[in-house]
């Protein structure tokens, strides 16, 4: 068996992927037709509608993300999005994904959360049966909309709970809008209920933003990119066992790093920070998880042993129940 073939077959885990950023162009077009919004695909896709236009910086990404999310309005829409993501992940050899869903956005848009989460749970069961991919869900709040709105998102997540596949809670959005410490009681409450906790930090903010997220009690940090240039923050993350959800291709698209080879992956590895690679918003950025690992091997010197270790670290950092973790671990070992 060739090394190239082994790479394609290797089992992967993803811990930082937004459902809303995973909509395939054909689903975006279908939703736009469903709701009479032809301007959305016109603004987001190439003229032939086959792929998303390149993103030029973080501000443009946010506008495009908002346009895409505006077409997710019903449980059916979310169900179709989850099935599409499951199919895409299966094609990349992903066997487990913790998928972020915008609870804060749903509240903002007047979408009832519970019926959507029920639809997502049904889709996850179908994906597991038909594709062999396990999907669980991380409810997400938006930092710039304030702590009260984030509590509302957490309360909705707790009402859905593990029975509907919700196992984690995160806070995304503009990391410069409010101090991470404002959300420390929220993260502590989520952790007491058995949820994994994540904060986005170090994507548009500096290394101090990552440090604040660690001190606020987040067990995982989304992006954490700027910490790569701050050895003291990396040491803090390593000592606390805080996991970094690295997203190099996304960081290039939004301008957090100038080019892929500039991503500080090696700094995280050498500092002993547990981490894995992720796609963030794969459809919007034209990414695949297998492609991210291939690019890291070619451009960042990632070794096969390091990649395998990252999958085991991702398993340890995930929020899946123990029986599911054991099954995923068996599949990783057998791979």
Q: Is 80 exceeded by the pLDDT of residue 286? A: yes
pTM: 0.95
CA 285 – CA 290 distance, rounded (Å): 14
Average pLDDT over residues 293-319: 97
Angle at the Cα of 88 from the Cα atoms of 85 and 90, rounded to 5 degrees: 110
For 251-265, the pLDDT digits (tens) are 999 999 999 999 999
| DSSP result, 227-283 | GGG-HHHHHHHHHHTPEEEE-HHHHHHHTSSSSGGG--HHHHHHTT--EEE--BSHH
For 145-186, the pLDDT digits (tens) are 999 999 999 999 999 999 999 999 999 999 999 999 999 999
pLDDT of residue 299: 97
- Per the prediction, the chain carries an average pLDDT of 95
Phi/psi of residue 133, nearest 5 degrees: -110, 130
pLDDT of residue 334: 80
> Annotated active-site positions, please?
203
**CA–centroid distance for 216 within its chain:** 20
Instruction: pLDDT band for 15, please (50, 70, 90 cuts).
Output: very high
Dihedral of alpha carbons 188, 189, 194, 195, sign: negative
Q: Is 70 exceeded by the pLDDT of residue 2? A: no
End-to-end CA distance of the chain: 13
Instruction: pLDDT band for 7, please (50, 70, 90 cuts).
Output: very low
Average pLDDT over residues 4-12: 60
pLDDT of residue 317: 98
Q: Is 70 exceeded by the pLDDT of residue 3? A: no
SS3 26: helix
Cβ atoms within 10 Å of 168's Cβ, excluding its own: 25
Domain boundaries, given as residue ranges, for the chain: 3-334
Average pLDDT over residues 6-34: 90
Q: Is 50 exceeded by the pLDDT of residue 5? A: no
Q: Is 90 exceeded by the pLDDT of residue 18? A: yes
Classify domain 3-334 by CATH number: 3.20.20.140
Q: Is 90 exceeded by the pLDDT of residue 301? A: yes
pLDDT of residue 333: 84
For 225-240, the pLDDT digits (tens) are 999 999 999 999 999 9
pLDDT of residue 9: 64
Q: Is 50 exceeded by the pLDDT of residue 91? A: yes
pLDDT of residue 4: 35
């Amino acid at each position: 068996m060739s090394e190239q073939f082994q790479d394609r077959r290797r089992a992967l885990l993803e811990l930082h992927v937004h459902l809303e950023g995973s909509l395939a162009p054909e689903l975006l077009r279908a939703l736009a037709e469903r709701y009479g919004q032809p301007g959305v695909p016109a603004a987001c896709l190439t003229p032939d509608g086959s792929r998303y236009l390149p993103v030029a910086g973080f501000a443009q990404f946010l506008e495009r993300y908002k346009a895409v999310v505006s077409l997710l309005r019903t449980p059916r829409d979310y169900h179709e999005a989850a099935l599409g993501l499951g199919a895409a992940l299966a094609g990349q050899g992903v066997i487990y994904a913790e998928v972020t869903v915008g609870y804060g956005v749903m509240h903002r848009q007047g979408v009832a959360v519970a019926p959507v989460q029920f639809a997502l749970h049904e889709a996850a069961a179908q994906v597991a049966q038909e594709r062999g991919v396990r999907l669980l869900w991380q409810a997400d709040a938006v930092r710039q909309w304030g702590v009260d709105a984030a509590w509302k998102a957490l309360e909705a997540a707790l009402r859905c709970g593990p029975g509907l596949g919700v196992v984690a809670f995160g806070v995304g959005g503009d990391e410069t809008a409010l101090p991470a410490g404002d959300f420390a009681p929220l993260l502590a409450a989520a952790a007491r209920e058995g949820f994994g906790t994540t904060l986005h930090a170090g994507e548009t903010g500096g290394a101090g933003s990552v440090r604040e997220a660690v001190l606020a009690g987040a067990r995982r940090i989304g992006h954490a990119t700027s910490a790569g240039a701050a050895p003291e923050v990396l040491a803090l993350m390593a000592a606390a066992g805080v996991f970094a959800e690295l997203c190099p291709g996304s960081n290039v698209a939004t301008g957090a790093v100038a080019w892929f080879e500039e991503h500080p992956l090696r700094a995280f590895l050498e500092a002993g920070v547990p981490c894995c690679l992720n796609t963030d918003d794969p459809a919007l950025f034209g990414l695949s998880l297998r492609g991210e690992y291939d690019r890291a091997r070619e451009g960042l010197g990632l070794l096969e042993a390091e990649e395998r270790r990252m999958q085991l670290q991702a398993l340890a950092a995930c929020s899946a129940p123990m029986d599911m973790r054991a099954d995923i671990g068996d599949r990783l070992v057998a791979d």
